[in-house]
Every structure is written in C-alpha cells, then in structure tokens.
Structure 1
Amino acid sequence: MVGSDKISFLKDTHGVSVMFATLLLILITIIAASGVAFMVSTMQKEAMNRESHQAAVENEELKIVSIEPVPAGDGNLQSIDITVLNLNIADSRISSIRLNDGYFLHFKAYDSSGAFDMHKDYPAVYSAGNRMVIPATKSKTIHLNFSDIVVEKSETISTAGWANNSTDFNYNLKMHPWKAYNGVDFDFYMNDTTNMTRCIQSGNFSINNERQEITFFGNNSGGNLTNNTDYEIFYAIDFISYAGSAPLENEPLRIELITSYINVFKELFTPPMPVAEVQFKVEYLQSANGSQSPNSYLILDASDSRDSDGFITSYKWAVWKDSGNVTLYDYNLSGMVVRPIGIDSYNDQDVTIDLMLTDDDGMVSRLSQVSGNLSIL
C-alpha cells in the first residue's frame, strides 16, 4: 500500500500548471523589463546622439580671415585664395563654396608648406563628394579657380616583361587617374618613347579602368606594337571649377561656406573706392644771379579714397602722355599724394592718369574702372 501511495504521489500533477504559469509569468516579466530597459537605453542613446549632433551644429564656427584675389589681366579675376579659420575644437568639413551667384564645384587647397594637398600622387580635388577638412582650432587656405581645373600626369610603361611579341601583354598602370579620382572621366594618349610617335589605340591596346590595367595586343591578336621599346602614357582630367562667370576685379565678393552640418558662414568683401584729383602748383626757383622764375608742377592726390570694410594698404599711379604713346609710370608711382616728374603742365597734352588701390583684404580697384581716368587735355 505504501508503494502504491508513493507511485500516486509521484504521478500527482496537481499544482504543476500553477507553478509553470508562475514561472512563465516571471519569465515574461523579466523579458518585458529587459525590453523596456533596452527601449529606454536606445531612446537615451538616440537622445544623446541628437544632443551631440545639435551641439556640434551650434558650436561649429568658421571665419574667412583673409583673401587674395589674383587678376586675370582682362578686368576679371583669375582666382582667389581664401584662408579659413576654424574657431571650434572639432574638425569642420566643407561641402560647398558659393561666390556671388555661382558655386565652386571643384577646388583645391594648400598644405602647411604652401604646396597643394596631394592624394595618391595626384593633387587633391575637393567637392561635395570629397569634402575638405578644416582642422579644429587651425586655419586652411583654399584655392578657388574660376577656370576649369586641369590635372595632367604621365608614366612610362616598361615592356621588359613582354617576352613574346606575338602574345598579349598586361601591365598595371601605376598612375591611372582612378587611383586618386575613382570613376572620373579622363583623356589619354600614348607615345612610343623610341620613335616619339603617337600610338593608335584601335587594334593595338585597350585599358581596363576597373583593374587599372593596359593590355597590349600581340601579333596573334592583330596588334602591331613591339616589345623593343617602352611607351609613355599621358593622362588629362578636366574638373569643372566655377559654375558662373568670373567676377570683375573691382566687384564686391560675397563668399559663403556651406559645411556638412548645413551651416552657412558668410563674409562680404568690398573693394576700396578710388577718389583722385589733380592739383596744379607753382613754385619759384631762384637762379644763381638771385632772380626767381616760376615753375609749375602737378600733385596727384588720393587722400579722399575710402575702404568701407577695412583700410587701404597701397596707392599706385599710372601716367601716360601723348595719347598714351609715352608711359611715364606703369602703376609704379606709389603714395597717397605724389608729385610725378616728366610732365610739363603747360605744354604736354593728352595726359592720362589712373589710380590703383589695394586694401587689407587684397581687394583691388582702379579709378578707370569706377569713374574713368583723369585726363589733362
């Protein structure tokens, strides 16, 4: 009977379902708590990331501290170098640069030695897809060119490994443009270094851009190039620089820097305003016998010239006479108020005078471009 009771006890399942339900409830509670904790942790992390991003956006601060415009010689600008200071303790990345009504699609920058930044043996060309870094608490000088940026490179292809002229020959191109500018369009041509003649591609060789490899077709494949000379290949890559018309050298420049945080930092640079006048003066010169005779001369005065956003650093005058056939000064007479020599104020005719000003930002303006030359007829 005792054995029977023991068996009955062992087979008794009363309360098992309650225990199982309790354990399941505990498990569900643990899972739910873990899920809530994970959700809270994820939300906290996202909130911290948002706060960090917002702080990065708000703390970013760039300032253009100087510019150096380069005239093209035709009244327009050829290029501008701008120096940008990063006032933040984190790096900034430039996505785009706008000048007046146009954007720079591609541009270059200088390293600490004053040479252009390099990338894999090529000049680094920056764009929205290849953003330039302004290091934290440091400055960077950017080169903005109004004409296209043309990059040219070359390399010599050695045929020393082409043992059999009848078979194809593969050569890895060490200076293929895609090493530096992945996927960019480029032009190329190849010369025979012995005969210095242009090699025709059709039927002679092909270039695989993906593998950055050139294949010379052997005689069996219809090629007629030989393995007893090396070949030189020339690459040319054309980057569109400025989407707009180059500004005049005396035109105000509104520069906007757009960063990866979509912050926009603006600076306006205005050229100085040239104002000039000619003063006729007379002085009496005493001769050896004690008599005095009048001597007339000119004074060129630019003291009324102004610069609205800084100060004028250079005054340079140009003077021509005899309808421009005689050059007395070619913007090499310096000074705010000057006394040119070589002019007879009574007898010389058709005297033309121009004034060129440069301000502390490097902005240049000429009297001839603003109000016209001064003339003495």
Structure 2
Amino acid sequence: MQISCYWQWTNQTVNFRDTGGHMKFLLYRWQAYNQMALEDALIKLGHKIDTFTCEIGNIEEDKEFEAKLVGYLAGHGYDAVISINYFPVIAKSCSRAECKYISWTCDSPMLALYTKSVFLPSNYIFVFDRQVYYEFKAMGVKNIWYLPLAVDVMRNDYVLKDYTGKEYQSDVSFVGSLYEKNRYDEMVYMPDYIRGYFDALMNVQMEIYGDNFFERMISGEIEEQLEGKAVDISGDEFIGTPALIVANTTLGMKLAALERRKILNMVSRKIRDTKIYTESSTNDLPLVKNMGKVDYIYDMPKVFASSKINLNITLRNIKTGIPLRIWDILGAGGFVLTNFQAELLDFFEQGKHLVWYDSHSDMMDKIIYYLSHDKERAEIAREGNLLVRRKHTMEMRVKELVKTVQDA
C-alpha cells in the first residue's frame, strides 16, 4: 500500500522558560485529543518541535513506514520521537535509528503495548493507569513510568474568556460515545453458554466500581473456544492473552454501551434538562436531548463550564487511572460527578474538588442534592479548578516527563 507522509517543520525555538536542557523532538501527529496540548507545552518549555503525519498501514509492522521514518531520522539529529499513545512500528523504527521513542498513553489498556517491541531499550513509555504500570514492571519492562494525564488550562482560559455561559447550559450533561457499534454485538461465533456467562459478568461488573474483574473471570476453556474465531491473535508479536483482548475490546465496550444508556435513562427520568453531546444514536433515550458532537478544543470547555453537573462514566478498560475527561472538566471550571476510580484518592478530596459515586442510586442521590445546592456545587468546581492549576497542568506533566527521560 502506498503511504503518504507529511513532514512539517514548526521552527518553534523561543525559550519561554529554562527546563535545564532543551531537546529536539519529532512529534507524530494523529487524531489524539490531547496532542495539541502536548505540543504546545513542549514549545512553551523551550523545546524544538518538528512534526510529521503519516498513515500507518499496520501499527505492529509496516516496512514502508519504517523505511521512511528511519531514513528521515538519520539526518536530522532528533533527541527523540514522541507520540500520544504507543505505536510498535515507531518503536521499531526508533530502535533501528538509535533514537529515543517517548510515548504517553491516553487510552488504557493500550493493546499495542502488549507486543514484543515494548522491551526495546530505546523506549520511554509513560502510562496514566497505575495498575497497567505495575503489570508491565512485573513483566520486566524497564523503561516504563506512571504519569497521570493533565489539562491545558491556558487554552481553556482563551476559549472561555468571552463566553457568556448561555449557549451550552444544562442541569446534567454527558459528553461521549454510547458505543452502539461494538465487537460483542458483531460476534457471529459465540456459543450460547459463553454469551450467557458474559452477559452475567457484565451485569455484575456494572454494579461494582473500583475493580475490573473481566480478565480474571475468562477461563482457559473460554479462551480456547474463542481463539481464532471470535479472537484473532495471529502473529508472533503479541504477548497478551485472548482473555486480555476479550475483556477490553469486547466486554469493556459492550458494558460501556449498556451502562451509559442505563445511567442516562435513569437520570433523564428525574432531571428533565439532561443533555448528551455525541454522534451516537439516542433513539432509545427519548428524554435525553442529543445536542450532537462538539469540538474538543473550542466547544467542549464551554459545555463543561456551563453545565451544572458534568457526568463522567469511565470505560471499565481503565483499571485504576483517571481518564482525560475528568481533567478536561476540572480544567474548564466545571463540576465533576464521576464513578469511583482508585486513583481519585491520590489526587482529590471527595466533596472538595469533585464528587464520586459508588452505585447508580448513590449517583442519583448526589445529582438531586447538588442541583439543589448551588453554592456548594460552585465551590467544589472552583476548588477543583484551582487544584488543577496548582498541580496538574500539561506544562507541569511534560516538564516531569522530559526530566524523567533526561535522567534515565
């Protein structure tokens, strides 16, 4: 397949602040929400950034892509290639070119990490889910670090500076996909007893927060039944298991479809002004107002700032980590009501910076309570935003990332 690559030199060399040693990066651009924030932070910290966009035919092995990237790296003196999320083909290219490859995940778990390339010494891998970090350290991966996500508060300030707050007002809002198209529904081959077992697992998991047990509950017998039919792990690069694939690409997405619809139906029956911003079909959510898709950079912060309550419903694939959506809402000054995630305890105080729920009934009780306590809700949103500004900006995270790479 012919692959088109676009190489762009940004020539951003202004030193906004001294980080104790600037680096020259080649950044791989693709459709990642927080990619622009990463790029801007590197530039503001005084680093030199060039970028490239190139279609990858196969993220694990693409000889044409590798040849292009290795050839380009040979004569340009980059300290590192950097990307949001991990791409095995970039890791292999950097290894061949003897160049560092820095990746920072915003999805979890990244199935691309479960390949042999993860052990390459030229890798500098940062993951936002602490449980995933522990798993890979236990596998013997040396160059991996835990780094939570963050938000570009300066960009949000710019977007919101002339915003009146009226356009996106709502009592309760949710921004995200409903995953109506998922692999579980598309699986033609699945014995009835396995489908029944999976349905029961999802019903139980939906009621439990703080522990994702899908992978542990898929036995070797079920793996054998699905491998090569419902699950494809062909090739010798993959170091995961069929259970890993089923738990995350199949059950996790199907549960998201079920849970998000259940929650939105539950909320909209009691709160008339419930809105969703999505491209997904909402024909089965008659009381929810579908406002369509919103632009991540220019409109989403306005939704978060204007909504009285911003719901976050974390994909269960994220084991303990804090998803990007929570940081985005806090960075826009919004009030967050989220399901419980273990790492929330490490960064936030319940009822001071945000609010989490541990059951659907608890969620409804808190929605009703905070809609009737405006001052308390506004104070929590303010404290959450102040905390992010003090400790969790994108520049702070990127500075930590660069220092880790330089000190390694």
| TM-score normalised over the length of structure 2 | 0.21
Determine which structure has the larger strand proportion and give its number. Answer: 1
Determine which structure has the larger helix proportion and give its number. Answer: 2
| TM-score normalised over the length of structure 1 | 0.23
The higher radius of gyration belongs to 1
Relative contact order higher in (CA < 8 Å, ≥ 6 apart): 2
